Structures are given as C-alpha cells and as structure tokens.
Amino acid sequence: MFDLNLPLAERMRPSTLDELIGQRHLVGDHGILRRAIKAGTVPSMILWGPPGVGKTTIANIIAHQVKAPFHTLSAVNAGVKDVREVIAKAKHQPNAILFIDEIHRFNKSQQDALLGAVEKGTITLIGATTENPSFEVNSALLSRCQAYTLRSLEKTELLQLMQTALERDHKLKTLHVSIKEDEALLKISGGDARKLLNLLELVIDSIPDEHIEITNQKVLDIAQQRVAIYDKSGEQHYDIISAFIKSLRGSDPNAAVYYLARMIEGGEDVKFIARRLIILASEDIGNANPTALVIANNCFQAVNVIGFPEARIILSQCVTYLACSPKSNASYMAINQAQALVRETGDLPVPMSLRNAPTKFMKNEGYGKGYRYAHNFQNNFADMEFLPEQIAGHQLFDPGNNAREMEMRKRLKLLWKEKYGY
C-alpha cells in the first residue's frame, strides 16, 4: 500500500538500479557499483555529488540488493554516541551497512570513531557528501573507503524523471497533467531531483483545474507563495548572510540569532558562518571591544572541533555577544584610507631615520641616523616623523566614539598635540 501523504520524491524513490535515472557510469551495465553489488563485495565508500542526484537512493538500493542490515545517521544531528551505538548493534549483524548523510559535517573526533569499525569490517560505511572528500573527510577514514563521484543530472534525465512520475505515481497518474513549459521547474530545482519532484507535486496540488497545464508563470507564482528555498550557492544565500551581518552591525541580537537559525536550518557550512563572525568582530567592532575578536576566533576553533548540532550553541553565544558589543569601524576605515593613499602616492621612500643599518656602508650613508628609541624617553614616547616626507602628518586612524577608543584618542592627543587632528 502506497502512502500518498509522503512527498512525491519519497514515493518515487527507486528500489533497484534499473529504476535509477542518471549515474550510469556507476550503476549502468558496466558500472563499478553494479559489478560490486552483483559480486556481493560492496566496499566502504564515500559518495560525492551535488544535492538530489541519488546518493541516499544508491545507499538504500545497495542495502536492499545485498540484503544487509541498514542503519542511517545524519551528520547534522548525530554525534559520537550515536555512531558507537550503531557500531555496537552491527557487531551482532553480519554485513551491516551504516549510511551517514552529509558526512563532511562530522568533525575529526566523530570521523575517527568510525575508523576501527570500518577497518575491521564491523560495518560497511557509505558516506554521502556534497563537499570534496579530499578536504572534508580525514585522510585516515578516506584511505579505508572508495570514493565515487556522482554527476549532476542532465536536462533530459530530469525531464524523464518528471514524466516517469506522471505515468507511474499512484496519485499523479489519475490526474490529467501536461507540462507545457519546463524552464521554471528546472531552474528553481537547480538540478536537484528531490526538489524537482516535490516542486512538481506542489504545483499540481495548487492548480484546481480538472485538466492541469503547467506553465513557467504558474510555477513561478506558486513557488513564490509556497516554497521556501535556502540555496547555499544562490541568491537567498547572499540575502540571508547580508541580513545576518547587518543585524549584528546594527546591534540587534534578536534578528541576528534569527538569521543564524535560518542558515543552520538551511544546512549552511558552519565554517562559513564562523569565518564571517571573525571578519565582523574586526571590521565592525574593532577596538571598541578588542575581546570580540578573541571570542569570534575561539568560536571558529570550537565549532570546527565540535561540529553540528552542538556548534549551534557556540555560534549563538558568539552572535549574541557580538550583537550586544559596542561598535567601531575605525580600524577598517583606517586600512581602507591607507591603501587608497598608497595607490595614490606609490612607493614613497621610507625616512632614513627608520631604515635598518646592518652594514657599515649603510650606516655611513645615513641609514638609521636620527632614530629615537621610544623607551629611552618619558612616557615611552619620542616625538619624530614616521611617515614618508611627502605625506607627513597625514591622519589615517580616527578613533571611534566609544569608551575604549576615546581612551585611545585621549592618549594620541596627549602625545601628538598639534601634529594630528585628535
């Protein structure tokens, strides 16, 4: 009995290699995976490819074909404890297969927990990843697995997928559906077969006509109303991160943590989020609160060790701290102005007093002459010119209007008096 409440992509999930559309280089008549399944010698493997091209489906088919106990974990919400529990069960289940979706999200300790079981053959590991396993799977685990690359589905394959669904699905085959235009369906789904089938069903369900004609305009109208897509490489990816950064800069912890949640729920890379926090801590907070950079850097290190799901807690702590911190872009503006000045004035000669004189000849030429060692003077300060003569007295750093930088301004004003405009 078919459960029509399941999404179309799940109802249409192939159960045999012959039903699978695409990936013929792996599962075709002479494909390496087909040969391995036929021989009953399925190795541990990493399946690398974009979303919705059949990684999970292939894992399910392998388990079904070889009649092996099948365990699944998602690296998004599983930890070492979950891995060890599956391994313990597998010791009493010959030929057990463990499928880990998004295995690249496992940190090193989580991946290391798999090593012994894979090496001893306690489990056959099938890992799925959208990221290059050479970078995201540790070398010890990768060396114990075969890595197979899955290809993006061609347009003809995606069209075949939709036609097959219209002809074979127990729900859709009872309807009168014709696809007059397919460009919007293909564009919105972005080559993701799962997203394509579920969008197709959404469009069909949203058109009340007895004879359903699918056009680009109908798809776009329905998708805008009903489909929330977080595309990690598309426009919304940039919209969300933009809103996230601007909320942090605008000192709104509520909005910032909301957009953080949007990214986490959308499957955003934890390292991408943490890197942006480090940049913001320096660009938008800077010396108004130097501890912000320390917190952000520690956050980056911690989430790389911990991984999801617990990394969300660390990210939230860092995000709320940065949002509530006083703000200053003085350091950021200073380097912008300094670079602009360098581009405008070129390679100006360094003052002779500041040049190093490692040889007698250079010393005789005047290198280092007139340099005043700051620690030999009161307040560890010697009044001298450090900029090239052509831009002497040019102020680039203007401390912000906050407690910490006002202290900096006070000191600079005391030291430099009339030279700079502090």
Helix axes 155-168, 193-206, angle to 10 degrees: 50
**What pLDDT is attached to residue 229?**
47
Cα–Cα dist 67/96, whole Å: 9
**Between β-strands 45-48 and 70-74, what pairing exists: parallel, antiparallel or unpaired?**
unpaired
β 211-214/124-129 pair status: unpaired
Residues in the chain with pLDDT values less than 50:
1, 226-229
What's residue 54's pLDDT? 93
Q: What is the dihedral of CA 101, 104, 109, 111, to 10 degrees?
A: 60
Give the per-residue pLDDT at 50: 86
At 86 the pLDDT is 93
pLDDT score at 128: 94
Residues 150 and 187 sit within 8 Å (Cβ to Cβ)? no
pLDDT score recorded for residue 292: 95
pLDDT value of residue 94:
86
